[in-house]
Amino acid sequence: MERLYSVDPHTTKALVPIIAGIYPYPEPKVMEARPGILPEKALPHLLRRFGYRTAFFQTANNYEDRQELVANLGYEVFRGLYHMPQEGFAYVNYFGREEMMMLKPSLEWVDGIKNDPFFLTYLTLSTHHEYGYPPWFPVRNFGLLDERQNRYLNAVMYTDYFIKQLFSEFKKRNLINRTIFIIVGDHGEAFGEHGLEGHNYSLWEEGLRVPGLIYAPGLFKESGKIDGFRSVLDIVPTVCDLLGLKIKEGSFLGRSLLSPADDSREFFFTGWSKSRVIAYRKGRFKYVFPSWSAKIEIYDNLSDENDEHNIYDLRTDLAVEAEACRSKVRAWFNSVAFQYRQWDKASQSEHKSFRAEDFNWKLEAIFNNLIKIYGYGFFPERTEPRTSVYVRLGIRCEGRIKRPLQLRAILLNEETGIKASIFLSPRVPLESLQPGQFSSAEGIINIPENWPEGLSRLYIGILDEKKEQFLRPQGSGFKTGEDGTVYIGDLDVVYPAEVIK
Give the separation between CA 263 and CA 499, rounded to whole angstroms. Answer: 57
CA distance 155 to 437: 51
Please compute, for residue 139, the number of CA atoms within 13 A of its CA located in the half-sphere on the CB side: 17
Kindly give the pairing relationship between strand 285-290 and strand 91-93: unpaired
45 has a pLDDT exceeding 50: yes
C-alpha–C-alpha distance, residues 121 and 186, integer Å: 13
Task: Tell me what pLDDT residue 500 has.
Answer: 39
Is it the case that residue 492 has pLDDT exceeding 90? yes
Q: From CA 74, how far away is CA 106, in angstroms rounded?
A: 18
**Has residue 71 been placed in a domain?**
yes
Residue 264, domain member (yes or no):
no
Residue 99 lies in a domain: yes
- CATH no. for residue 208? 3.40.720.10
Closest CA to 3 of 171, 204, 230: 230
Strand order in the sheet with 297-300: 266-270, 277-282, 285-290, 297-300
Report how far residue 312's alpha carbon sits from residue 267's, in angstroms, rounded to the nearest whole number. Answer: 19
Residues 380 and 240 in one domain: no
Give yes or no: residues 252 and 373 share one domain.
no
Q: End-to-end CA distance of the chain: give it in Å, rounded.
A: 44
**What is the DSSP secondary-structure string of 306-353?**
T-----TTT-HHHHHHHHHHHHHHHHHHHHHHHHHHHHHHHHHHHT-B
Higher-confidence position of 245 and 444: 245
**Rounded distance between C-alpha atoms, residue 339 and residue 459, angstroms:** 38
pLDDT of residue 498: 42
Look at residue 104 and tell me if it is in a domain.
yes
By the 10 Å C-beta count (0-12 exposed, 13-18 middle, 19+ buried), 417 is classed as: exposed
Query: Domain containing 114: what range?
Result: 4-256
| pLDDT of residue 332 exceeding 50 | yes
Same domain, 251 and 393: no
Q: Is there a contact between 229 and 208 (Cβ–Cβ < 8 Å)?
A: no
**For residue 315, which of 303, 297, 288, 327 has the smallest C-alpha distance?**
297
Distances (CA, A) of 315 to 297, 311, 312: 11, 6, 6
Is it the case that residue 169 has pLDDT exceeding 90? Answer: yes
Mean pLDDT value across residues 369-390: 88
Half-sphere exposure in the Cβ direction for 41 (13 Å, CA):
13
> Which of left, alpha, beta for 51 (phi over 0: left; psi -120 to 50: alpha)?
left
CA distance 342 to 337: 9
Inter-residue contact 171 to 188 (CB < 8 Å)? no
- CA separation for the pair 472, 58 (Å, rounded): 36
Residues 381, 241 share a domain: no
pLDDT digits (tens, 9 = 90+) for 334-366: 999 999 999 988 887 777 788 888 898 999 999
In a domain, 318, yes or no: no
Domain count, the chain: 2
Give the pTM. 0.78
Write out pLDDT tens, residues 175-193. Answer: 999 999 999 999 999 999 9
Q: Residue 497: which pLDDT band, with cuts at 50, 70 and 90?
A: low
What residue ranges in 216-313 does DSSP mark as E strands? Answer: 230-231, 266-270, 277-282, 285-290, 297-300
Question: Could you read off the pLDDT of 459-479 as tens digits, one per residue?
Answer: 999 999 888 899 999 998 999
Is residue 289 in some structural domain?
no
Amino acid 499: pLDDT:
39
- Of 287, 290, 231, which Cα lies nearest the Cα of 259? 231
Domain containing 451 — which CATH number? 2.60.40.770
For residues 48 and 197, state if they share a domain. Answer: yes
| % of the chain residues with pLDDT over 70 | 99
Single out the residue in 256, 275, 308 at which a domain terminates.
256
Question: Are residues 11 and 145 located together in one domain of the fold?
Answer: yes
CA distances from residue 379 to 376, 406, 457 in whole angstroms, order as listed: 11, 21, 14
In a domain, 381, yes or no: yes
pLDDT band at 421 (very low <50, low <70, confident <90, very high): confident
* 3-state secondary structure (DSSP) of residue 7: coil
User: What letter represents residue 253's amino acid?
Assistant: L
Whether residues 250 and 383 share a domain: the answer is no
Query: Is the backbone of residue 436 left (phi > 0), alpha (psi -120 to 50) or beta?
Result: left
- Residue 106 CB neighbours (<10 A): 21
Mean predicted confidence (pLDDT) in 73-86:
89
Give the residue from 207, 224, 256 where a domain finishes: 256
Has residue 314 been placed in a domain?
no
Q: Which of 209, 228, 256 is the last residue of a domain?
A: 256
Q: What are phi and psi of 460, to 5 degrees?
A: -130, 155
User: pLDDT band at residue 135, thresholds of 50, 70 and 90?
Assistant: very high
